[in-house]
Amino acid sequence: MENIQNSRVWIFKKLITCFDKFYIENLNIWDYKWIYLDEFVTVEDPIYKQKYNAQVLSIVQGDTTIYFLAVEFSNTNWGIYLKDDYETKLIKFA
């Protein structure tokens, strides 16, 4: 397995709720089982500056594997962190 912590920075991308669709490489993160990896990254809440030790997550769909961090800041409110090379799109749940 590649060392996914090296070479790029984990960047806060969006504060979402569990009702928001959030796509990484055309995969809505809520539609797939999250795989918890044995790697952790320290990230900071962008507003309150609290530090979190976040476990790296992945989703596998066919030949696609995506990596991300999802930190639950409060009930149903999640901070999503991605490597700086990921393209993302947030679609509000209708």
Task: Tell whether 36 is covered by a domain.
Answer: yes
Mean pLDDT on 24-30: 94
- Locus of tokens 């509000």: 92
**In a domain? residue 5:** no
What local confidence, expressed as pLDDT, does residue 9 receive? 84
Does the residue 69 lie in any domain? yes
Which of residues 89 and 37 earns the better pLDDT score?
37
**CB burial of residue 50 (10 Å; 0-12, 13-18, 19+):** exposed
Asked whether residue 48 is domain-assigned, the answer is: yes
68 is a domain residue: yes
pLDDT digits (tens, 9 = 90+) for 35-82: 999 999 999 999 999 999 999 999 999 999 999 999 999 999 999 999
Residue 30 has pLDDT above 80, yes or no: yes
Q: Does a structural domain hold residue 78?
A: yes
Name the one residue in this structure whose structure tokens are 């790296």.
56
